[in-house]
Amino acid sequence: MTRIERAAPEDAGEILTVQRAAYVTEAQLYGDPFISPLVETAERIRKIIESGTVLKACEEGRLIGAVRGQMADATCLVGRLVVAPDSQGRGVGGALLAALHEQVPDATAFASSTGHLSEGNLRLYRRHGYRETGRERVHDHLTLVHLRKERS
């Protein structure tokens, strides 16, 4: 059974490990081995855990996923929704996203962005009520799709 709870600073290393494993396919998809989730440090993640809302998903004592939420005015910016590759496709990402929506009651909306080629990510966000609000070309090989969900 998957358990979702707030991450603690000492979870930073495990979160980084899952994050790197989860983003390898994204790096391959976009032909860029230096995307920010792959070069982020455990210390940076520790600081984010201490200052924002970071949730983790665990099964049988193993951390298998995480998501971040950071408030900007009344909008919760959703970031680094990651699931270990061997746990993907079982609803863990959706459960993390739903839990984040519950854990940030002051947010009137949620916003995220993902790469234009990341079809699985786009499907997940759309399934949870996110709508595309725009696209932004950031590199020759990457266009970010911006998504938003108003709290219902």
The answer to whether 52 touches 69, Cβ cutoff 8 Å, is yes
Q: What is the pLDDT of residue 6?
A: 97
User: Could you tell me the residue ranges of all domains in the chain?
Assistant: 3-150
**What whole-number percentage of the chain has pLDDT above 70?**
100
CA–CA dist 66, 95 (Å, integer): 10
Q: What is the pLDDT of residue 34?
A: 86
Q: How much is the pTM?
A: 0.93
Q: What is the pLDDT of residue 67?
A: 98
Q: What is the pLDDT of residue 139?
A: 84
Q: Give residue 40's pLDDT band: very low, low, confident or very high (50, 70, 90).
A: very high
CA–CA dist 28, 123 (Å, integer): 19
The residue-averaged pLDDT of 75-100 equals 96
The residue-averaged pLDDT of 38-49 equals 95
The answer on pLDDT for 33 being more than 90 is no
The answer on pLDDT for 152 being more than 80 is no
Domain range 3-150, its CATH number among 1.10.260.40, 3.40.630.30, 3.40.50.720, 3.40.109.10: 3.40.630.30
CA–CA dist 53, 68 (Å, integer): 6
Closest CA to 125 of 69, 64, 59, 81: 81
The percent of the chain in helix, strand and coil, each rounded to the nearest 5, is 40, 35, 25
